[in-house]
């Protein structure tokens, strides 16, 4: 399904004197909301509303910008609001950004009751998020590129089913104020009792412009998909679903399964060779007690050639000259980075591998990938306590340099085709350093190759499978990734 958007209807709440309107640009995936209404305060609200009905928990996120209007009015506002009814005096939770950049989390507990609020010590955001977790409503907001600032109300009792949507309030009976919303996502998170690697929710295959941060939805599906690769010379992606690999044509937006013969229990550690002719996979081999074993096969499909005789071995990088593979492997209780040659035939007696890192058993080295010049290997390591990004020599694993040193757990560094930038995935400290689970609040971030200039590209619900593998477009302008949501 393409050009997906989550809303069902538009309404002007509270009988404003003028009428609002909404339009949707399918190509840009942008909503333009022309809002009316006098105010949203005390016991009565008046505003324009683009909404849907939703049950249970949700995460609603958007980026927004004012277009013209009365910039001097500090009380005009936009945001996300969840309401019991469409009546002007309805109980609600409201993530509100005012005309002067002031931020508030507002709520009303009873029909016509007093509006309560939390004022943020922060100003001028363009990204706003409202999340429900039972009776807790959480507002998160940021200037695009920065980390979220967060606050919440924990005891707001509203019905299970609510109206949820974007709004604009002009704060004047005579005016219309216009806001453009993009990167709009309403996410239904996994239930609290889901079982990891057994229970799954739906997925969105997305592409992100690394300059503007604009996101495009290519595919929405009720199944779990993971780890899109971008073919270096052809117009398609390869992703994993339920252990098999699929080719996604970017022109037709259609998927077809790739024939991998017996290898139908592939995890999300797969690669396309630098020349685009071969596919590397990590298949859970029954003959090896289900451990992950690395294979290669023709890009169009065929019978895989085994590379590693023992496991687990998780493929992550292919050298620019096509001669070597690098991977995370567990050997004698340690998970480290290894290298081996790509061979046309399998021979366990002649196989050899080079160990590039050596850390304590409690640490994990993962996510290795070559720099485009072939001189360096980037990877993530928990050797400092948190998961951080490092660089080593591609010759022998020497000369380690730590590139990130922050409060996040950072995973899967992917250098751009020109080698100047690195995209990676960041978890918070609600996740253990060695873990990279599904269905968490994560960020896609980007930095210069020396670790400077870190900024956020996307705020999303994802994690495992979001960007495990190299997914830059060949021109270095976009990256492909996966976010997750149960179907609305």
- Domain extents in the chain: 9-187, 203-484
- Integer Cα distance of 161 and 57 in angstroms: 9
**Chain CA centroid to CA 402, Å:** 24
- Return the residue matching tokens 């009015």: 73
The low-confidence residues of the chain, meaning pLDDT below 50, are 1-2
Phi, psi of 288 (to 5 degrees): -115, 35
Burial of 190 from C-beta contacts in 10 A (0-12 / 13-18 / 19+): buried
For residue 4, the model assigns a pLDDT of 60
Closest residue by Cα to residue 249 from 237, 241, 233, 239:
237
> Which distant-in-sequence residues (6+ apart) come within 8 Å of 171 by Cβ?
37, 38, 39, 73, 75, 76, 77, 99, 177
Token pair listed for 58: 């949700």
- Give the single-character DSSP code of 364: B
Go through the chain and tell me how many residues it has.
488
Per CATH, is 203-484 categorized as 2.120.10.30?
Answer: yes
Q: Are 57 and 188 in contact (CB under 8 A)?
A: yes
For residue 80, the model assigns a pLDDT of 98
Helices (runs of H) and strands (runs of E) counted in the chain: 0, 39
Dump pLDDT digits (tens) for 304-352: 999 999 999 999 999 999 999 999 999 988 999 999 999 999 999 999 9
User: Which residues are registered as beta bridge partners of 56?
Assistant: none
Token pair listed for 293: 């074993």
Peptide bond into 89 cis (omega under 30): no
User: Which residues are registered as beta bridge partners of 229?
Assistant: 238
- Integer Cα distance of 95 and 25 in angstroms: 24
For residue 2, the model assigns a pLDDT of 42
Domain 9-187, architecture per CATH: Sandwich (2.60)
Q: What global pTM score does this model have?
A: 0.96
- Integer Cα distance of 381 and 391 in angstroms: 10
Dump pLDDT digits (tens) for 237-272: 999 999 999 999 999 999 999 999 999 999 999 999
> Which distant-in-sequence residues (6+ apart) come within 8 Å of 302 by Cβ?
259, 261
Q: Are 228 and 469 in contact (CB under 8 A)?
A: yes
Name the pairing type of β-strands 177-187 and 161-169. Answer: unpaired
- Integer Cα distance of 227 and 30 in angstroms: 26
């Amino acid at each position: 399904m393409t050009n997906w958007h989550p809303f069902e209807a538009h309404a002007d709440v509270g009988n404003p004197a003028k009428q609002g309107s909404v339009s949707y640009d399918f190509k840009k995936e942008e909503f333009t909301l022309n809002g009316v209404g006098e105010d949203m305060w005390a016991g009565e609200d008046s505003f324009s509303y683009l909404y849907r009905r939703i049950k249970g928990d949700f995460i609603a996120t958007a980026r927004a910008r004012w277009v013209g209007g009365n910039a001097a009015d500090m009380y005009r506002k936009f945001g996300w609001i969840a309401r019991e009814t469409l009546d002007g005096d309805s109980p609600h939770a409201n993530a509100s950004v005012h005309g002067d950049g002031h931020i508030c989390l507002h709520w009303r507990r009873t029909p016509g009751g007093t509006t309560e609020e939390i004022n943020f010590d922060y100003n001028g955001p363009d990204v706003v998020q409202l999340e429900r977790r039972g009776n807790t409503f959480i507002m998160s907001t940021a200037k695009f590129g920065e980390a979220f600032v967060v606050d919440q109300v924990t005891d707001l009792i509203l019905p299970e089913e609510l109206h949820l949507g974007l709004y604009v309030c002009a704060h004047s009976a005579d005016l219309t104020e216009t806001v453009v919303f993009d990167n709009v996502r309403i996410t239904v998170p996994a239930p609290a009792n889901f079982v990891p690697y057994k229970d799954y929710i739906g997925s969105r295959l997305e592409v992100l412009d690394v300059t503007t941060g604009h996101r495009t939805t290519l595919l929405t599906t009720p199944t779990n998909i993971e780890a899109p690769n971008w073919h270096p010379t052809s117009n398609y992606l390869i992703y994993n679903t339920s252990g098999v690999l699929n080719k996604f044509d970017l022109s037709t937006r259609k998927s077809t399964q790739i024939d991998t013969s017996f290898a139908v229990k592939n995890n999300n550690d797969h690669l396309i060779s630098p020349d685009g002719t071969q596919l590397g996979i990590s298949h859970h081999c029954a003959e090896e007690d289900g451990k992950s074993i690395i294979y290669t096969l023709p890009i169009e499909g065929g019978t895989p050639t085994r590379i590693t005789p023992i496991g687990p071995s998780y493929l992550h990088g292919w050298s620019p000259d096509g001669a070597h593979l690098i991977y995370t492997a567990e050997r004698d209780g340690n998970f480290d980075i290894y290298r081996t040659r790509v061979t046309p035939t399998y021979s366990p007696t002649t196989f050899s591998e080079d160990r590039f890192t050596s850390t304590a058993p409690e640490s994990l080295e993962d996510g290795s990938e070559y720099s485009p010049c072939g001189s360096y290997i980037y990877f993530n390591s928990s050797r400092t306590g948190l998961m951080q990004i490092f660089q080593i020599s591609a010759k022998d694993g020497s000369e380690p340099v730590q590139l990130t040193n922050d409060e996040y757990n950072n995973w899967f560094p992917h250098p751009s085709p020109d080698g100047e930038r690195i995209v990676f995935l960041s978890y918070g400290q609600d996740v253990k350093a060695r873990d990279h689970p599904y269905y968490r609040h994560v960020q896609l971030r980007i930095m210069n190759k020396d670790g400077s200039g870190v900024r956020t590209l996307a705020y999303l619900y994802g994690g495992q499978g979001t960007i495990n593998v190299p997914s830059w477009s060949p021109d270095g302008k976009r990256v492909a990734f996966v976010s997750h949501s149960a179907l609305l």
